[in-house]
A and B are shown apart, each in its own frame.
Chain A
Amino acid sequence: MLSATGKPRSQGQDKNKNTAGAPQSEQPQVLTSKQLLFVPSLFTLAFFLLSFLPRVQGNEILVRSFWAATAVLVVWQIFMILQCRRTGETKSFILAKPRPQHYIQAMVHLSVYTYWGWYWPPVQEHALLLVAQLLFAYAFDMLMAWSRRDSYLLGFGPFPIIFSTNLFLWFRDDWFYLQFLMIAVGFMGKEFVRWKRDGKSTHIFNPSAFTLGLFSLILIFTNTTDFTWGPQIASTLSLAPGIYTYLFLGGLVVMYFFSITLVAASAAAVLFGLSALYYAVTGVPYFLDSEIPTAVFLGLHLLVTDPSTSPRTPPGRLVFGILYGLGVFALYTILSAFGAPTFYDKLLCVPLLNLSVQWIDRAVQSLRDNSTLDRMGLGVVPSRRANLAHMAVWIVFFATMTLIGKTDGKHIGDSLPFWELACQEGRPTACDRLLLLQSTYCSDNSGWACNELGAHYASGRIIPADPDRALTYFARACELRFQAGCVNLLDPSTISRTEPRVFDLRLLLRQGGQNLMDMPESELYARACEHEWAFACSNIVSTL
């Protein structure tokens, strides 16, 4: 029997105090019934049924991952139902008013998926798995909440957690059970890792950032990044034309509703500024292919900006954003130095920043009554008007960066010849970047790139000579039918090098994953010419 009342049941009232952050003014509707215990079963059943769709059936391990997750949920439900029958307890739903930080964030996330997925098909293939994760998350969250108290706050909460997690990392089908584990860890972090903030119990960490940070560390230390789509996710956002502008516009929505302008804008400004400074000093870009990698730009709008886990005061938000920018900037170098994939840079510092929010908010209290800051809208008391002013400044800043080609424009780091020249000139990190790029392209089956790597290891000019490794790269180049690789394998004492073939150019010019396999040769040479391949410029005419 389902009953609807205007107040929570008295039995669960005390425990409900722990329910994550429902505003005091809400008058939530409470549904209480013994039958409610079966609601998680409906989510579990729907989740289980998804495993029979062709997308899941195509991979045996994926099917088993679904079934294992289903089994966990079913066992947990049976245990809970038996316990409730034994004790006579009932469970309830609190139907709170939909919270904008859930549904607006989720809508912005969804719009990013839609635009990005239009240009990168794996996102479309992942859509069903997103739905599955949502069903799993609701069932898991309900069971976890009811295991600790009598009520569950039913709303859109799981949406932004699932969406923002998947915007940065998802596991390959063969390892997808780890995705369910990652989601579960995120919800457990939200449930168990809590503190008192402004007198209320609230979660410390942004749930998606917490689990992303934790799993990033594990993946780095176990060298298992290839279990995930992480590197591809980070690099393929740029396949969508004008992605920076798109993210900027989506970010404005979030900034308007949640007043996080100072966080995102200060992080972006720090990164733009440090990148420009680095380029001015060294002559090479700091980030390989952009002023701010697209995934970082996404992160500073939609990952670090969770209002519940960021500072409440405007100066606190400013500091928070600056620290995020500095953190990403530093982590990029640290990860590079350890040979770890650099795309983790935007994920690792968020949990640490979440831990610092109370300290930041307390620290900026000393700025209270500072009239200069008040005039700049940076007083400790937030104001909607000040947020609009900050948004205006951010719009002007972004527009300026776009006009000078620092966002969606062509980036100098996209050009391999640029890095070759920079390496020859002895510019900082240029040779390391060159080797990194050539290594990536060699793994992508470019015989030219493998031969270049072999030549570097054979000559020992930009890296310590390693004859065995040189032979390995020459052999790989040769097997990829790059003739110079074969003759170098025969006689490594005289190194042959030649320009990339058409096939190599189709790989070298992909910029994050575009498919250039069917591009006409004339267009390909034109593209190569734009990327400073001198030989390609003269070939354009001959292919017309």
Chain B
Amino acid sequence: MKEIVVLSGKGGTGKTSIVGSFAVLAQGKVLADCDVDAADLHLLLKPSVKEETEFWSGQVAVIDEEKCTQCGLCQEVCRFEAIDDFKVDSISCEGCSFCYHVCPAEAITMKESLSGNWFVSETRYGSLVHARLGIAQENSGKLVAVVRQKAKQIAENQGIDYIITDGPPGIGCPVISSLSGASLALLVAEPTLSGIHDLDRVIDVCHHFDIPATVCINKYDINEQNSCQIENYCLGQGVEVAAKIPFDNVVTEALIRGLPVVEYSQNKVTQEIKTLWQEVYRSVGSPKKILNRG
């Protein structure tokens, strides 16, 4: 099985629009939305939810006012500034249980917290596993791991060879969780100085975890000089630039209509995304040995 993860470092470079189009172009795949903080792929793929599961993860400390002697030890040991005036701020609490273990009055209990939900859905393009992290919740990395695991399980059960994952922005916890052990990272870059800076960091993350990467420059004609710089930089890093997609309002028009852009329009953007998919498909290699003799 091959798992392609689409990342970018910088947000808003076009990951979800590209994954939405891959959903149309790729045959035999399971889709996964690992941007669990701010999932958007469902807005393009219009899934019908088949299975919804609560995601219980982590704990939060609760102080029983009746038992509390106000000794202040919990406040003293907490390193997350989560206890003030003998009350726990559930948003700041990281669930370490230190206070629970030290409280001499046994006034503190640890409560499991509902951190979100995850879904298995059907779409016109195949199965989609997606999730919604609760507002201001922790453990996005763990929820990402659950989404990936479920996508793999579906692929295995149905004999599907590819998983295409829409990843989160950044380089931290949910990105690491989306990337580890993947077959290929497709990095969507934009030709801005911020975009170049962020691409550099996300390529370093791929190197760090030893994941092969390939780059796509989106809206390359916003600043062709910067695009050139990205190409040179990638050459130096031994990373292929698989496609250069021009800026075009059709991408947004398609989005407004809730359609993947390759279904909405037949123009240069669509052509380039098709080329990109072929390149990604080629780079990731065949999951099975195919006897291909003419």
Same complex: no
